Structure 1
Amino acid sequence: MVSTMNGNTFVVSDGSGDVQASPSHPVGLFSFDTRFLSRWVLTIDGQRLNPLSKDDLEHFETKFFLVPGEVSPYLDPDVSVIRARCLSEDFTERLTIINHSHQPRTLSLRLDVASDFADLFEVKDAQPKSGQITAVVDRRGIRLRYTRRAFHREAYVSCSDVQQVDETGFSFEVALESSGLWEVDFRVETLIHGAHGRDLRESLAPRRRRTRPADLRGELSQWLDRAPHLACDEDRLERMYWRSLTDLAALRYSPLSATDKLPCAGLPWFMTMFGRDSIFVSLQSLPYVPEIAAPTLRTLAQMQGTVLDDFRDEEPGKIMHELRYGESSGFEQQPHSPYYGSADATPLFVVLLDEYSRWTGDTEIVRELEPDARGALAWIDAWSDLQGNGYVSYQRRNTVNGLENQCWKDSPDSVSYRDGSMPGVPRATCELQGYAFDAKKRGARLAREVWGDADYASRLEREAADLKARFNRDFWVEEREHFALALDADGRQVDALSSNMGHLLWSGIADDDKAARVARHLLSPELFSGWGVRTLGMREGRYNPVGYHVGAVWPFDNSIIAAGLARYGFRDEAARIAIGMIAASEFFAGRLPEAIAGYDRELTRYPVEYPTACSPQAWSSGACLLLITTMLGLEVHGDRLVTDPVLPEEITRVELTEVLGRWGRADAFARGRTAPRREPPRRRP
């Protein structure tokens, strides 16, 4: 599959540029959770075209180099075709037909066009449409319309040189001279009806201006120029770095304003705002592209929960999980308008606010969002303790289509006992407690240093210390020497061995005397595949190497684990994870997918992509950045950037110049390989 994308608008096609949608197949032109093109098929003399090559170096433009019919080593094609497509304000495609023969040629060209206007959830679940689709032909093209009561979407397909058009496409008789060339342009304009008949995008961003390819090209160039420059003796890492930055640029969109951009989660299923994902990506990328963090914080604050709403799992102070614009959300077949079904985004909001202010020195946003941060901290105490034991837990209010698991591993089978059986609800997963601990510690710093509320700061510090002490007592599985995945509804340990405990090192909630045993488990053959840490241990009852959260390896997860290991002084273990991820990226042209299978590296010798993985995915792109931060040991001390590098043995030189922060710009260097060591746990100031 080949993708062209710009924000949350994207095209997914086959290798020749054709789109032939089928149930549950996420190909087509999508925007704001609706598929506007489900068929876009080019033929010449009744034959499909075959790809020779493609150019997709820029995320918003793709060129396909094609020939009609089958490619043969014994017969040179005498006609070639270039499809040059672009996603700026609209979707455009220029067809260029070239006659390589010394004789004139006449070709019959056909472009078949259709739209099913499927909601992304309908594509995912292969559900039928409820409204009416019509096609109206005019002298310029085809207007495709979908109507279901007040819900209205349109795609207008126009052509620069209409010869013959009907409700299903365009036909041309193309006369080519010897060595001649013929071109035609197509444009697809999408209309998303909102209130008062206005396009929804203009309602969200009244000052939105039309963008051109040159604008996008300049914006991408500026984005890459502003980021620090990486130079090293490991080509795979450099390729991974620039690919990650480019993908993050492609995944940005403006949900509520004309200018502020924050990351979508991933293509194709999650091209929208996710609270948890946007927060983690902002954290991963702070030294590189800090400009996405403030829009993320402000947008999440703007949509922070204010009422009790069972359908949306909304509660006062809670940070949203997912925002959708499609038909199923509009008619409340899905609760995503927005949906609040995550227990981790709320404490992580406070974590990001503090970390962003530490890196950038921006205290104005801390003052601006003080009520929102206090509301998030209040949610931890007032609404998350469903078991009455002082721990953050979750249980969906929406029992029809709310998420059963509301941690980052949010698939239905992700939380289980060692024997594979499932606990009841509510559930309190271990990493949620780490996030809450971290949020309270950071909230205390903000209260004392910015808000001028020493009493509140002292209270939060006491609560954090109490939480840490209780956590290390109640979650520690003594006989197996690791932290439990969760506590069940009765407060009993859900004793599966999982990657979640790596997040405990990242948040700092694990006691120092337990960290070495956690590190040993994380790098053991049961969890470490050679590419990265599996989400679930190989001996656990639900282990499946191609299971979404029960055995697959997630780059995002591994970047957090590596950062946590380094925080407690296990720098060589962190380096092993980093080089595993770098090695895996080589097989995906530098782009780490959402997840790879948990097979042992020796078994497959190449990383197997999870069957329905998003690619690109924002926090997989962010994983590369956080791994570089971890290898270089980048940290903020006052108004200075400090480094404490430990590189993998395979890398002997890394230079990261013009790192962004409150100091302005600074450079970080790493040389050679230090001897293996164990340091005392390092703590953030």
Structure 2
Amino acid sequence: MGQGNTVRILDGNTFVVCEDTGDIEATPSEPTGLFSIDTRFLSTWVLSVNGERLNSLSYDDLQYFESRFFLVPGMATHYVDAKLSIIRERVVGGSFREQLTILNHDEKAVDLEVRMDAASDFADLFQVKDEILNKKGEIYTEVEADKLRLGYRRGNFRRETIISSSVSARYDSRGFAYTIHLEPNQQWEATIDVQTRAVGPGDRDLRMGLRAHGGERLALQHDLEQWIADAPKVNSEHGRVASTYRRSLIDLAALRFSPLSLGGATLPAAGLPWFMTMFGRDSILTCLQTLPFTPQLSKTTLRILASLQGSRFDDFRDEDPGRILHEMRYGETAAFEEQPHSPYYGSVDATPLFVVLLDEYERWTGDVALVKELEQESRAALRWIDSYADLIGNGYIWYERRNTETGLENQCWKDSWDSISYSDGTLPPFPRATCEVQGYAYDAKVRGARMAREFWGDPEFAAQLEREAAELKERFNRDWWVADGGYYALALDPDGRQCDVLSSNIGHLLWSGIVLPERAEQIAQHLVGPRLFSGWGVRTLAEGETRYNPIGYHNGTIWPFDNSFIAWGLRRYGFGEEAATIANGILDAATYFDGRLPEAFGGYPRELTKFPVEYPTACSPQAWSTGTPLLLLRTMLGLEPHEGHLAVEPRLPVGMGRIEVLDIPGRWGRVDAFARGRLDLHSLAD
């Protein structure tokens, strides 16, 4: 049974946001519609019977790609007397398909006028998000005997929605209708197909070749079953772990996105509804989270990002040679360069993370061929770190947008306008350097050295990278350490002044390995201490900081993905208990969201709320939140590649019980891992 009055179904490149009746009535405050490749292809889709709108009895979320709506005419007080049942079954795949069934429960025959109002504003997703609809082209409607064609054209940019029915319908400029006669206990059915087209030069559909199933439910179901069958199996005494894992696996399948013109290969889209597209940082981090479970995503992600790696200097797109893209869009505003996402390169961390993922992928899978295939792209990424990212010339990665109109100000993962501050709450000038990115650069150099020595046949380059990594580690631990606080600063300003707030970013430093061993315990204690750890998870900004706000986007909320990497970092430095504490909090929180962790939730203390408070505009599902339970499983079981084998060193939270992960894929073939947590003796005593 679905919850609330908004229904979302999706399949990679296409998704629908509608009311619990199945209707779509887009308004600035209700961003519903049928969306694909950053365009809204349906903004109105309203069903009526005899001129009367319908009311929802219930809806079922059957799978991520299908829903079923049970409706009756009349107001809620008339449900008991309803003589008609209307069922809408909807599947979203390569197209949008809706089966409409009407059942007559009356003792006498009925004549019905069934109508579907249909329209499209062809709004760009950025226009929907910003609630600004400024169309500069022409919207047109073509009524044909067997179909209705809605379209939009602006120069060579053309988008079309083509509507047809399995049962003869009367089409007009506002939709289509049926006149039907039903005897007692008789039912009527019609299947409505909605095809979306992105037309380029030569009348060619740009969406050809994408992973698509023509809206066929059986093909989509088979694809999902195969996806689940290929992944490891997770069983646990504590039901939340297995159920959350399965929910994550299904959502990850739903978020597989096929970039245009790249042969149908898939990578994780960032999240629904605003970020159903390719992102550098989001896709890479999601792949790192899910590598032990779905390694094929990492391979395609690396190849796709490598194929679009920056090759020139372009201020509009913040592009440099070797830089990995931040975001790719296919809508009207990108096509006409009203915003730079075609693609946009304004990410300061995707480039070192690209090298990190490639090395981690090889360590896990043994796929040396891909490491050799992407050697030049990896070298270009490593070159970017020193040649183009060091804007100050002091050996750190800095960022400052060159596109001052539409580029991102903050190009780290905490990309909201006020996420980087001094302890007094003021914001630093640009350029800025955030701490976790220096850790990523260190990690990229260490991993790049391994690949250069073992696979690229270049020991001199390997030695150079190792020297640079060691120098970076020494310099970083000198310049970023907040001595009177016992933690690392969030960022430096161009004068070298520390943004000396306590933040979750310090956990990423553990993951990257840049933290000095003698300082690791202080960092670990901060991460599970009362200022950062709420009981549900680690806050993005510590309680007591000037800008702290438990529902501030990056200033006090809890981001599940952030916590998964923090826990992984704690395990790297030997803090298994602390990692288990964080894993336990996040997995507990997941149960309140039916196993689907949102993008972020409130940083209120656990003893205050008793349940996690969802951030009001959080994406759900969201890729790196979907990947969070998978990385936490890896962390709790201590799964790490070691000398060609899989090492297992469990540290489960108290009371977790037995967990088994079966058929873990890797260079070792497929192996199983088992773990048992300690009993909660206090709970047993109670």
Q: Tell me the equivalent position of 1:339.
A: 344
Q: 1:591, 1:632 → 2: CA distance?
A: 21
Q: Tell me the equivalent position of 1:421.
A: 426
Q: Does 1:80 align with 2:73?
A: no
Deviation of 1:599 (Å)? 1.6
Deviation of 1:21 (Å)? 0.6
Q: 1:400, 1:106 → 2: CA distance?
A: 58
Q: 2:319, 2:82 → 1: CA distance?
A: 60
Q: 2:29, 2:334 → 1: CA distance?
A: 18
Q: Does 1:188 align with 2:212?
A: no
Cα pair 2:93 2:212 within 8 Å, conserved:
no
Q: 2:586, 2:62 → 1: CA distance?
A: 22
| 1:541 maps to which of 518, 541, 546 | 546
Instruction: Find the residue that maps to 1:75 and give its secondary structure.
Output: helix
Cα pair 2:94 2:211 within 8 Å, conserved:
no
Deviation of 1:76 (Å)? 4.4
Q: Within 5 A, what are the aligned runs for 1:528-677?
A: 528-673=533-678
Q: Tell me the equivalent position of 1:33.
A: 38
Larger mean CA deviation between 44-53 and 217-226 belongs to 44-53
Q: 1:296, 1:398 → 2: CA distance?
A: 26
Q: 1:581, 1:468 → 2: CA distance?
A: 31
Instruction: Find the residue that maps to 1:144 and give its secondary structure.
Output: strand
Larger mean CA deviation between 461-470 and 51-60 belongs to 51-60
Cα pair 1:529 1:598 within 8 Å, conserved:
yes
Q: Tell me the equivalent position of 1:200.
A: 206
Q: 1:150, 1:601 → 2: CA distance?
A: 54
Residue by residue over 1:16-47, the C-alpha shift from the partner in whole angstroms, topping out at 9 and shown as x without a partner, is 11111111533100010000000111122333
Change (3 A) 1:495 1:674: farther
Deviation of 1:6 (Å)? 1.1
Q: Does 1:397 align with 2:402?
A: yes
Residue by residue over 1:346-390, the C-alpha shift from the partner in whole angstroms, topping out at 9 and shown as x without a partner, is 000000000000000000000000000000000001011111111
Instruction: Find the residue that maps to 1:25 and give its secondary structure.
Output: coil
Q: Tell me the equivalent position of 1:682.
A: none
Q: Tell me the equivalent position of 2:240.
A: 236
Code of the aligned partner of 1:451: W
| 1:132 maps to which of 135, 138, 154 | 138
Q: 1:111, 1:337 → 2: CA distance?
A: 36
Cα pair 1:208 1:258 within 8 Å, conserved:
no
Change (3 A) 1:623 1:263: same
Q: 1:74, 1:385 → 2: CA distance?
A: 67
Change (3 A) 1:259 1:75: closer
Deviation of 1:107 (Å)? 2.8
Q: Tell me the equivalent position of 1:270.
A: 275
Larger mean CA deviation between 565-574 and 45-54 belongs to 45-54
Q: Within 5 A, what are the aligned runs for 1:323-362?
A: 323-362=328-367
| 1:307 maps to which of 309, 312, 315 | 312
Larger mean CA deviation between 409-418 and 439-448 belongs to 409-418
Q: Does 1:386 align with 2:387?
A: no
Q: Tell me the equivalent position of 1:249.
A: 253
Q: Does 1:506 align with 2:500?
A: no
Deviation of 1:211 (Å)? 6.4
Q: 1:123, 1:405 → 2: CA distance?
A: 23
Q: Does 1:294 align with 2:299?
A: yes
Q: How high is the TM-score relative to the length of structure 1? A: 0.96
RMSD of the TM alignment (CA)? 1.7
Larger mean CA deviation between 273-282 and 174-183 belongs to 174-183
Cα pair 1:386 1:426 within 8 Å, conserved:
yes
Change (3 A) 1:11 1:207: closer
Cα pair 2:655 2:679 within 8 Å, conserved:
no
Q: Across the two proteins, how many residue pairs are aligned to each other? A: 674
Cα pair 1:556 1:622 within 8 Å, conserved:
yes
Q: Tell me the equivalent position of 1:679.
A: none
Q: 2:680, 2:101 → 1: CA distance?
A: 59
Change (3 A) 1:163 1:317: closer
Q: Tell me the equivalent position of 2:218.
A: 214
Instruction: Find the residue that maps to 1:339 and give its secondary structure.
Output: coil
Larger mean CA deviation between 494-503 and 139-148 belongs to 139-148
Code of the aligned partner of 1:636: P
Q: 2:429, 2:46 → 1: CA distance?
A: 49
Cα pair 2:655 2:680 within 8 Å, conserved:
no
Q: 1:545, 1:260 → 2: CA distance?
A: 39
Q: Does 1:164 align with 2:170?
A: yes
Change (3 A) 1:207 1:523: closer
Q: 2:210, 2:44 → 1: CA distance?
A: 32
Q: Does 1:103 align with 2:112?
A: no
Q: 2:176, 2:51 → 1: CA distance?
A: 13
Q: 1:667, 1:58 → 2: CA distance?
A: 28
Change (3 A) 1:74 1:314: closer
Q: Does 1:226 align with 2:227?
A: no
Cα pair 1:110 1:172 within 8 Å, conserved:
yes
Q: Tell me the equivalent position of 1:58.
A: 63
Q: Tell me the equivalent position of 2:321.
A: 316
Q: How high is the TM-score relative to the length of structure 2? A: 0.96
Instruction: Find the residue that maps to 1:506 and give its secondary structure.
Output: helix
Residue by residue over 1:144-171, the C-alpha shift from the partner in whole angstroms, topping out at 9 and shown as x without a partner, is 1111122111111112223432211122
Gaps of 5+ in 1: 677-685
Deviation of 1:539 (Å)? 1.2
Q: 1:262, 1:366 → 2: CA distance?
A: 18
Residue by residue over 1:448-491, the C-alpha shift from the partner in whole angstroms, topping out at 9 and shown as x without a partner, is 11111111111101110111111111101011111100001111
Deviation of 1:575 (Å)? 1.1
Larger mean CA deviation between 51-60 and 143-152 belongs to 51-60
Deviation of 1:642 (Å)? 1.1
Cα pair 1:24 1:123 within 8 Å, conserved:
no
Larger mean CA deviation between 99-108 and 144-153 belongs to 99-108
Deviation of 1:594 (Å)? 0.8
Q: 1:564, 1:552 → 2: CA distance?
A: 20
Change (3 A) 1:244 1:207: closer
Q: Does 1:432 align with 2:437?
A: yes
Cα pair 1:164 1:170 within 8 Å, conserved:
yes
Larger mean CA deviation between 165-174 and 654-663 belongs to 165-174
Deviation of 1:10 (Å)? 0.6
Q: 1:188, 1:297 → 2: CA distance?
A: 33
Instruction: Find the residue that maps to 1:184 and give its secondary structure.
Output: strand
Instruction: Find the residue that maps to 2:304 and give its secondary structure.
Output: helix
Deviation of 1:208 (Å)? 7.7
Change (3 A) 1:650 1:104: farther
Instruction: Find the residue that maps to 2:348 and give its secondary structure.
Output: coil
Q: 1:78, 1:570 → 2: CA distance?
A: 64
Instruction: Find the residue that maps to 2:179 and give its secondary structure.
Output: strand
Percent identity, aligned pairs only, is 58
Code of the aligned partner of 2:245: Y
Residue by residue over 1:420-471, the C-alpha shift from the partner in whole angstroms, topping out at 9 and shown as x without a partner, is 1100011010000000000000000001111111111111011101111111
